[in-house]
Structure 1
Amino acid sequence: MSTIRFIHTADLHLDSPFKGMTGLPTDRLNNLRDSTFAAFTKLIEHAVKTKPDFMLIAGDIYDGEDRSLRTQMKFREGMVKLDTAGIPVFISHGNHDHLGGRWTRFDLPPNVHVFDEHVETVRLTVDGQEVLISGFSYQERHIRDKVIDRYPVAEGQDAIHIGMLHGSLAGDETHAVYAPFTKNELLAKRYDYWALGHIHVRQQLHETPPIVYPGNLQGRHRNERGTKGFYEVELSKTTASLHFIPASAIVFDRLELPCAGMSHANEWLTACSEVLESFKEHNGAGIVELLLTDIDREAANLFSQSPEGEWLEVLRDYVGESEPYVWVQKITFASQLNLSMASSALMQSVAGMIDGWTTEDWKDVLKDVYQHARGVKYLDVLTADEIDEVKTGATALLAAEMSGME
């Protein structure tokens, strides 16, 4: 059996607005806003250089249905480069870039096939190997029904069958649940590869056959941490090999810095600089949160001398703007700092109670905020990281209030 080679990418979110990045210098903010285009350029350049048999884009090319002319033009330019290189492209639009959006459309070159709202199967031949690709595009933003039921079962032992689906596992509420499916429903179709999109975390749900989320091409905020990119896949009827290709122009991440025994500010600044330099070496440009851990009484006494905002300002001045540029978005003190600064029995008791709350407890406590009709559009899904941050902030506020009462 012949082996084919293709690129699987999804969730490009071109022209993402990157909200909430207060304090970032204007030129750096512009670089951040262009980072989705920079990541897209890396994708196109890699494809032109390596010449895969075809490319799959599994939804959310654009960040919103009202895509700009500039964004569409840049995407079209990339498709034209692939057309010149003889690389077919198959596109399945998702919930962010659904077909029902209102925008001035650009005509795409002949190498691009865009699936419509009905599940269809496209046939192509790669060096004598027949390949069948099935997929569909969202007609509107909210697709709640199980579109997987409309996909045909693979027939014929010789052809390679690939399914493209922008959606999520039924019951997985880490993302909004659209076009839900179960792993068994995918396997029942007997395809050789499932090219998924919608979930921004890179993951392989099944090995043989591969059921794959490549994640998004460029992280867009602090909850989309780590290097992002796409997969280059070699596939036959009996084997599959996946190679991850990094594409992030700017990497979001959280860095931990142990602070035990620190008693002078210059010690802390030097340690911060070393952590950031290590990050640069491995990731290049980035936007990071600094989590200060292992805070004993000595370190707690050091940090209590100045407010958190001043520590952050001094750190930004100290590290400067050397390339590749890393912006420290925020500093978070671990809860040990707050507990050591507020030693009353009441503080210990209340903090212990908060620390013992389950995810369901937190959802109940925060329901007035997350159920507010006007405010909910500014909030992400309540994740474990969000809960940890609220917990740390609540403990800090409690410590400050208790300190004022003593």
Structure 2
Amino acid sequence: MRFIHAADIHLDSPLTGLSAYQDAPADMLRGATRDAFSNLINEAIELQVDFVVLAGDLYDGGWKDHNTGIYFCREMGRLKKAGIPVFAVFGNHDAESEMTKKLQLPDNVVLFDSRKASTVTIDHLKVALHGRSFKEAATTENLARSYPDPRPGMFNIGVLHTALGVHSTHANYAPCSIEELYAKGYQYWALGHVHDFQVWQGTCTVVFPGNLQGRHIRESGARGAVLVTADETGVQQIDRLYVDVLRWHCLEVDAGPCGTLAEVVRAIGRELEGFMAHNTCTLPTAMRIIVAGKTAAHGELFGMEAQLRAEVLALAAAHGTDRLWIEKVKTTTTAAADSEVIRARGDALSDLAQLLEQAELDDDFIKSLQTDLMQMVGKVPLELQQAVPYFKDIRAGELAGLVHEIRPGLLSQLASME
């Protein structure tokens, strides 16, 4: 038999920050989660799989637009026409959704109850599926402990939305351990919640398929589900099904050899050309460029991320491709001349370095700086305020970190002007 295991669809997930970029392919990005899910349904029908397992987070939190749920029902209806049943649990995001409480799903969809773990069987395949949905978003109970014992003589699948207790980047919902899952005696655990593909092979097979579609730079690379082939002896093969329609990629550029902003732009151009020459993926790419390294251009780069992005957009446009969008250019460089070297000079620049160090601890200076900067913050559009992390610090009066960050760049810039 063959079945598809998918999770973390996050239908119509909002993509924040897009309105800050007039050039953003907003329509494509907003529709990406639906398009990826439709690709998954197409694969299930074309492959004629025996069933589909959805391990939670079908929706994306407190959405009240029923068009999202209607779309999901329509896709489930396509599977019904193909004779493919679906077995699903609700995850933490589904527990927040109004749609999960009101929409009537097609009868080929079996949704596991949230009150207790239960079992459904597919007798002609000798398959038993065990699962439990989230009732509340912040479910911190170990749900795996309540799952039923395996059915003898059947291929047992546990469907569970869990952080597995090992992923610090995800909320620790329904925590459990690999050892607990192994001990249950099932043949396969279909997990959801963690958005990266992972497989454990022990006394049984435990899988996170990852999410179907990357939604931001932290979800870079290929995304999709898994196709599981099994027989009476257990899992025989696991194949990844890539169904995403757009991929996120982080391109790192070493600015170490660069002395000016113009040289940094040229370095980015070379790396960008190399990526485009060797990238075999035909899907559109949303790219973030990270400029790093200890460089003499550090001072000139400070505050120039918007200009850098404009320069890079021009480079990408010159290549005539419509498959690449530059989401952001971020600088993480450090000054070539560090503060100790500048302090040792014993001149006016070293005096300024000392004053700037003292300014970080000067409460009166910090308060005065906050007063001046708040005049600017009040005039900036809300979208930009949310996109620039400094604005939150300015409002809170926590400006020592900002002064500390500006200091080496300012000193480096002044030193380069001598």
1:48 aligns with 2:45: yes
Distance change in 2, residues 1:269/1:225 (3 Å)? closer
Query: Could you tell me how far apart the structure 1 residues matched to 2:307 and 2:24 are?
Result: 23
Give the drift of 1:247.
1.6
- The correspondence for 2:133, drawn from 130, 137, 140, is 137
**RMSD over aligned Cα atoms:** 3.1
Q: Structure 1, residues 334-366: CA drift from partner, whole Å, max 9, x if none?
A: 43xx22154643789x9xxxxxxxxxxxxxxxx
2:177 corresponds to which residue? Answer: 182
Native 8 Å contact 1:347 1:398 kept in 2: no
2:331 corresponds to which residue? Answer: 333
Partner amino acid for 1:55?
Answer: V
Query: Could you tell me how far apart the structure 1 residues matched to 2:69 and 2:100 are?
Result: 10
Distance change in 2, residues 1:346/1:168 (3 Å)? farther
Identity, % of aligned positions = 29
- SS of 1:62's partner is coil
Native 8 Å contact 1:10 1:215 kept in 2: yes
Query: Could you tell me how far apart the structure 2 residues matched to 1:185 and 1:55 are?
Result: 24
2:9 corresponds to which residue? Answer: 12
2:304 corresponds to which residue? Answer: 307
Distance change in 2, residues 1:327/1:395 (3 Å)? farther
Q: Which protein shows a greater Rg? A: 2
1:80 aligns with 2:89: no
Unaligned runs of 5+ in 2: 345-352, 354-385, 388-400
Unaligned runs of 5+ in 1: 351-377, 380-391
Alignment: residue pair count? 356
Partner amino acid for 1:286?
Answer: T
Query: Could you tell me how far apart the structure 2 residues matched to 1:144 and 1:305 are?
Result: 43
Distance change in 2, residues 1:260/1:342 (3 Å)? closer
Native 8 Å contact 1:93 1:99 kept in 2: no
2:217 corresponds to which residue? Answer: 222
Query: Could you tell me how far apart the structure 2 residues matched to 1:143 and 1:97 are?
Result: 12
Give the drift of 1:261.
4.7
Give the drift of 1:24.
3.2
- SS of 1:188's partner is helix
1:159 corresponds to which residue? Answer: 154
Query: Could you tell me how far apart the structure 2 residues matched to 1:398 and 1:207 are?
Result: 53
Distance change in 2, residues 1:64/1:100 (3 Å)? closer
1:291 corresponds to which residue? Answer: 290
- SS of 2:291's partner is strand
- SS of 2:217's partner is coil
Q: Structure 1, residues 283-308: CA drift from partner, whole Å, max 9, x if none?
A: 621221112345655xx389659933
Native 8 Å contact 1:231 1:243 kept in 2: yes
1:318 aligns with 2:308: no
2:409 corresponds to which residue? Answer: 400
1:368 corresponds to which residue? Answer: none
2:33 corresponds to which residue? Answer: 36
1:234 corresponds to which residue? Answer: 229
The answer to which structure has the higher helix fraction is 2
- When normalised by structure 2's length, the TM-score is 0.76
Partner amino acid for 1:399?
Answer: P
